[in-house]
Amino acid sequence: MVRIKGHEINPVITKLAYNRKALQFKNNIISTLKSIGVDEYDVKIPLESVAIRNVKAQATWWLDGYRMHYSYNQQNKFVDNLWIIYKVIELETKLLISKEHTLTEFCAAFKEDKDIDKQRQKAREHIGVAHDETNIETINQKYKEMARTLHPDMPTGDVEKFKKLNNAHKILKRELS
């Protein structure tokens, strides 16, 4: 089980027809978003030409004037990453339809800046982890080490550097949680 945004999702391990299944998952995402009023032309889900590759999957759409985006890169195959995205969007959409979440809460879960990938890269550099690090425990450990020295209550502390470190950590936590 994978825990994301408060949901437990059973990941799939695709064994056949990777590209076909990736296209199915893309279409499922589009259908799910259509159920809450998103036009299919406002959804962008780039498909990988070889869906078995270990590549990040991502979906971008527009809703209520906001750019929504979700990406995932914890599984070993693009197609399996796309499955996780589909399940997260499906679960969050069900909460919206059932009125357990408001549109504002739904938008807050997915709203991101256009340059989020650059921000994530800079955050990884700032914390001092590899550019492709996705293990939140490794990131947390490095963050805690740096926070001990930069915290304003410490003799080597620096308020501005500590704020930048916290911001970088928040960016990565949001991506990986």
Query: What whole-number distance in Å separates Cα of residue 48 and Cα of residue 31?
Result: 20
pTM of the model: 0.72
Splitting the chain (177 residues) into consecutive groups of 10 residues, what average pLDDT does each group show?
Answer: 87 92 97 96 94 92 89 91 96 96 90 78 92 86 92 90 91 76
- Of the three residues 110, 130, 145, the one that is the final residue of a domain is 110
pLDDT at residue number 177? 61
End-to-end Cα spacing for the chain: 14
Indicate the angle between helix axes 78-97 and 103-110, nearest 10 degrees.
Answer: 160
Domain boundary among 90, 110, 130: 110
Q: How far apart are CA 107 and CA 99, in angstroms?
A: 14
Say if residue 100 is in the same domain as residue 51: yes
Q: Which of the listed residues 88, 110, 132 is the one where a domain comes to its end?
A: 110
> Quick one: 105 and 146 in the same domain?
no
Q: What CATH number is associated with residue 159?
A: 1.10.287.110
Cβ atoms of 89 and 70 within 8 Å: the answer is yes
Based on the domain organization, do 104 and 120 belong to the same domain? no
143 and 98 in a single domain? The answer is no
Spatial distance between the Cα atoms of 120 and 173, rounded to a whole number of angstroms: 10
| The pLDDT of residue 156 | 87
Question: Would you state the pLDDT for residue 67?
Answer: 87
Range of the domain at 133: 116-176
Q: Are residues 25 and 102 in the same domain?
A: yes
Q: Are residues 7 and 89 located together in one domain of the fold? A: yes
